[in-house]
Structure formats: C-alpha cells, structure tokens
Amino acid sequence: MEKLPKVGVPIIIGIVIVLIVMFKSTVTIDSGQAGVLYRTFDNGVVTDEPPLGEGFHVVAPWNRVTIYEVRQQEILEQMNVLSSNGLDIRLEASVWFQPSFKDLGKLHQEKSEMYKDRVLLPAIRSAARSVVGRYTPEQLYSSKRDAIQQEIFEETKNIVKDQYIQLNEVLVRDVTLPSTIKDAIERKLKQEQESLEYEFRLVTATKEAQKQIIEAQGKADANRILSASLTDKILQDKGIEATIKLSESPNSKVVVIGSGDSGMPIILGN
C-alpha cells in the first residue's frame, strides 16, 4: 500500500511532461491567418518555405511560431499636410492592405510584427505630403479629390513595393481646410455658379429672340410673296368661287344687290 504512491508519482510527472511537450509542440492557426516558423537550432526564421497555413500543426517544442493576419486590413490615418501655397490642411485617409503571403517570413525577419508602424504609416504620410503639396486649397476642396486619392495610392505603392506589403487601396475620406479659407472658397464657388446661371439665362433669351426674329422674317417673306402673286384676275376668280359656294349652301339665303366696282356681286344672307 505504501509503494503505490511512490510508483504513481513518476507516472503523474511523466504525464505532465508529455502534456507540456504536446502543448508546446502544437499550434492552431485560425482562418485569415498564417504562421512564421522560427527554428531555434536551424538558422532562425524560415524564409525559404511557405508560411504555415490555417489549421493544426505540430512543431518541435524548442521552435516558435509567430502568427500574422493575412486578410485585408484597414488603417485610418489623420495627418496635417501643407498645400502648394503653404496652408495647413488636415487629411483623413483609409489604407487597405495586407502582408504578402509568400514573403511573410522575410517580412517577419526584416520588419517584425511592427511593420505597419515601421513601414506602412511612414509611407502613407510621406506620399500624402508630397501629393497635397502640389495643389491649392481650392483644388483640394473641389475638383481634384479623386486625382489626389489616386496619386497618393500610386506613390505609397511605389514606396512599399519591396517591403513585402500588398497595398490594395487608399481612400481620402476627408479634407479639412482652415475655416476662413473654406468660407472664401464656398463664396467663390457660389459666385461662379450664379455667373454660370446668368450666362445660361442670357444665352437662352438670345436664342429665343433670334427664333422670334426668324419666325417674323418668315411671315413677312410669305406675305410679300403672297401679295406679289395676288393679281386682280386671281382675286376676281377667288371671289367667284366663294360666291358660288355661298350660294350653294343650304343654310344661307343669298340676295344679290347690284355689283361692285370689279363686277363682283354683293351678297347678303343669314
């Protein structure tokens, strides 16, 4: 009876050791993640093999696995930049990115898990300052927003292209100007809009006047041609035709009283 505990203690210790080894030798990687293996006795970070994918993995207990998120991620960055004329502009941008899956080992070895703070954020800030510095506040506020967004994306992409980071998109969410400059720009835009509206009304009125002149000219030309073609003989023939039709009407009572100077009858009726 006294020997049983002495035999059981080593067994319990052995089970605990096995469990610890098993716990240290396994790693589970969730969806949207990948693992970088560090071999303690074999050149450290593994860069010449693909990273560990999703699922359950067994590794030597003396090695380590660092897990990275490889799905698309977003960073919202707010920064102060200067326009072309030296005014302070506040820019808010969203950056969509993800680490390069096949180069995850190199990213870990050279940049570490802090790669966003060490590489990506300095790159977006540098590109934003460079691009915004080419434009005036008026252009930033109105017509050039899409162009600025695309230029910041292209410049940032060039900076991080060899840094094992995949840049997907840069979105300029807001551009904040000093209140005095913003008010001045809005007044200017309003005046320009009113000027364009006035010019439109002026052009419309001019076209309407031209239309009326053309119509009046057409009527005048038609009357002149008609007057030139109406000889006495034609008028007399027309009068005879009208007289005949009037006399044939069942609703008219025709009375002929003498004749006119042209020989046409004078017709009365009800």
Of the three residues 69, 92, 110, the one that is the final residue of a domain is 69
Does one domain contain both 131 and 219? no
- Give DSSP secondary structure letters for 48-78: SSPPB-SEEEE--TT-EEEEEE-S-EEEEEE
Residue 1: pLDDT band (50, 70, 90) is very low
Residue 47: pLDDT band (50, 70, 90) is very high
Does one domain contain both 50 and 11? yes
Residue 75: pLDDT band (50, 70, 90) is very high
Does one domain contain both 133 and 214? no
Does one domain contain both 98 and 133? yes
Does one domain contain both 157 and 102? yes
Q: How far apart are CA 145 and CA 150, in angstroms?
A: 9
Does one domain contain both 40 and 97? no
The percentage of the chain sitting over the pLDDT mark of 70, rounded to a whole number, equals 67
Q: What is the pLDDT of residues 8-35, one digit of tens each?
A: 666 666 666 655 655 667 888 999 999 9
Of the three residues 21, 52, 69, the one that is the final residue of a domain is 69
CA atoms within 13 Å, Cβ hemisphere of 252 = 14
Does one domain contain both 79 and 12? no
CA atoms within 13 Å, Cβ hemisphere of 125 = 11
Does one domain contain both 7 and 50? yes
Lowest-pLDDT choice from 81-85, 145-149, 211-215, 227-231: 227-231
- Residue 71 CA: distances (Å) to CA of 49, 98, 111, 157: 20, 6, 18, 18
The residue range of the domain holding 167 is 73-177
Number of domains comprising the chain: 4
Does one domain contain both 60 and 122? no
pLDDT at 212: 83
Does one domain contain both 34 and 110? no
Does one domain contain both 119 and 154? yes
pLDDT at 83: 83
pTM of the model: 0.61
Does one domain contain both 82 and 112? yes
Is the pLDDT score of 69 beyond 60? yes
CA 104 to chain centre: 32
Strand partners, 165: 99
Contacts of 76 (CB under 8 A, 6+ apart): 92, 93, 94, 95, 173
Q: How far apart are CA 269 and CA 243, in angstroms?
A: 12
